[in-house]
Structure 1
Amino acid sequence: MVSKEFTPKKTICKVRLQIPAEWAEAEAVVVGDFNNWDPAANKLEKKNGGWETVLRLKPESEYKFRYFLDGERWENDDEADRYEENEYGSQDSVLVIGDGN
């Protein structure tokens, strides 16, 4: 699940990413343009029956991302705003952050 909530001044968009518990046994991370594709930067926490994290992203931007699961498997988000081909012959999920209006 992807949900977006802007701060009152609309300078930051808080994006909550949630994936089902069965997608990963031991570790789930989200990597993308927002963290230079660093698998150590944004680990998801196991809670509420799944894995989740909250990212703080700039409005009026787009970010490619994917989930890296159990240190071996890549997955896209079913609720991404769209998908784009990547240089590895697969697709990346894309988050589109508007201006908050």
Structure 2
Amino acid sequence: MAITKQFLKSKPVCKVTFTVPAEGANEVKVVGNFNEWNTEATALKKLKNGTFKGTVNLEKDKSYEFRYLVDGQWKNEDQADAFAWNDYAADENSVINL
């Protein structure tokens, strides 16, 4: 898994690209407080090599909690900037700092 950050000079925005290797998966979504934890909001596109990839524009100078939803199973980003405990899920969320 990987996260790529591209900060824009003209806007207070960072283009964040999420890449998830999930060759056997049918569907991968990135879900977090930036999309109100809506499990239908941000689906990643499956590439020919079996990797799922998608880009989200996020406001810079903020931190966001998120997780991946891979065929209905919650997964964390192992390259996240940090992890935050979530009492609701009784598990950790990945954190990205922009």
Q: TM-score, normalised by structure 1?
A: 0.88
* Structure 2 partner of 1:25: 25
Cα root mean square deviation, aligned: 1.2
* Structure 2 partner of 1:78: 78
Q: Is the 8 A contact 1:10 1:59 kept in 2?
A: no
SS for the counterpart of 1:34 is helix
SS for the counterpart of 2:34 is helix
> Percent of pairs identical after alignment?
35
Query: What is the CA-CA distance between 1:21 and the residue it aligns to?
Result: 2.5
Query: What is the CA-CA distance between 1:10 and the residue it aligns to?
Result: 4.3
Query: What is the CA-CA distance between 1:42 and the residue it aligns to?
Result: 0.3
Runs (4+) of structure 1 exceeding 2 A deviation are none
CA distance in 2, matches of 1:58, 1:34: 9
SS for the counterpart of 1:37 is coil
Q: TM-score, normalised by structure 2?
A: 0.91
Letter in 2 for 1:12: V
Unaligned runs of 5+ in 2: none
SS for the counterpart of 1:18 is strand
Letter in 2 for 1:84: A
